[in-house]
Chains A and B, each alone.
Chain A
Amino acid sequence: NAGVTQTPKFQVLKTGQSMTLQCAQDMNHEYMSWYRQDPGMGLRLIHYSVGAGITDQGEVPNGYNVSRSTTEDFPLRLLSAAPSQTSVYFCASSWGQGLVEKLFFGSGTQLSVL
């Protein structure tokens, strides 16, 4: 099993460009989520999904869109990148939602917006 796979690992964008961060899991997990990690601020939840066709906002959703057309994939879209979105992005999945379920994380995408 590959677990949670994120692509790309690194990305540089210019302000105003759009892009999609890919996340795929092969564990048949219902719950998937996106986090951003900034220095000294831990990980903040951007969006999450409790199953195919269902998404919801986390703590810092502005500037990001998500969709969940399949159980396996949960892409994160930046429609118009801003320097404030420079961060490391992590995707995670688990059997169910909530803290009791163990979260499995991908290796992250380091994004720089110039």
Chain B
Amino acid sequence: LAKTTQPISMDSYEGQEVNITCSHNNIATNDYITWYQQFPSQGPRFIIQGYKTKVTNEVASLFIPADRKSSTLSLPRVSLSDTAVYYCLVGNNAGNMLTFGGGTRLMVKP
């Protein structure tokens, strides 16, 4: 499982775009990048997954540069309800040890 590094916390304001970057210098060729969101007193919830370039769904976008050594989760026009912890995971189907790191605690202010 590739080691990932994320900022411990970030602050933003309602309506702003938030970008959370994850560093994964030792990513393997067959590794995917996945982001989860966790609200207080709840289990993590899948947000988005990608392998290269850009992936977009109804809640977020994921940008992955050509060297794949980092990735950026983009949340457009955040609201107070986006206050949560966001986890970046890097790995593949051969990985059994899916340990989540400390994540990034996003605080959205009014």
Chain A residues with CB under 8 Å of chain B are 4, 33, 35, 40-45, 48, 56, 58-59, 90, 92, 96-108
Contact = CB atoms under 8 A, between A and B. Distances in A.
A106 B38 CA distance: 12
Contacts of A96: 93
A98 B96 contact: yes
A22 B100 CA distance: 22
13 contacts: A42-B87, A42-B101, A96-B93, A97-B95, A98-B91, A98-B93, A99-B91, A99-B92, A99-B95, A99-B98, A100-B93, A107-B43, A108-B43
Contacts of B90: 99
B99 A99 contact: no
Contact of B96 (A90, A97, A104): A97
A15 to B, nearest CB: 25
A105 B96 contact: no
Question: DSSP class of A's interface residues: helix, strand, loop or mixed?
Answer: loop
Interface stretch (B15-23, B44-52, B65-73): B44-52
Given A43-B99, A97-B95, 15 more contacts: A42-B100, A42-B103, A45-B99, A58-B96, A58-B99, A96-B93, A98-B98, A99-B31, A99-B98, A100-B34, A100-B49, A101-B93, A103-B44, A105-B44, A107-B41
A90 B36 CA distance: 14
B102 interface: yes
Nearest to A39: B102
B99 A44 contact: yes
